[in-house]
Amino acid sequence: GEQVEQLPSILRVQEGSSASINCSYEDSASNYFPWYKQEPGENPKLIIDIRSNMERKQIQELIVLLDKKAKRFSLHITDTQPGDSAMYFCAARDPGYQNFYFGKGTSLTVIP
């Protein structure tokens, strides 16, 4: 199946700075790339997504970029706040099988 690599696995940033998480995928047929945030003891929740017909999407402080040629996509959190501290997972969807393949996750800590 699809392989999704996610880096870094651990990220610590100062409050107010930006945080970036990078993912890469192997299957050029993948066409949908969601990002999930999971707070301790909670279920993962969708925070932003991007489809293969777009290169950039922004929702408030969240920006996702997609480079289809390089098969990479990234999440950028601008002006981080302590409430952004959580696990973040990227994923890629295989349209043929309706599967989602997840990265191994990034533990983000925003230091006040």
Partner 1 sequence: GGIITQTPKFLIGQEGQKLTLKCQQNFNHDTMYWYRQDSGKGLRLIYYSITENDLQKGDLSEGYDASREKKSSFSLTVTSAQKNEMAVFLCASSQGVSNERLFFGHGTKLSVL
* Site residues (vs partner 1, CB under 8 A): 1, 6, 9, 32, 34, 36, 42-46, 49, 89, 93, 97-105
Q: Which is nearer to partner 1, 49 or 61 (CB)?
A: 49
For the bound state, the minimum distance from the C-beta of residue 47 to partner 1, rounded and expressed in Å, comes to 11
CA-wise closest residue to 66 among 49, 79, 80: 49
In angstroms, what is the minimal distance from the CB of 40 to partner 1?
12
Q: In this structure, what token pair is assigned to residue 50?
A: 């991007």
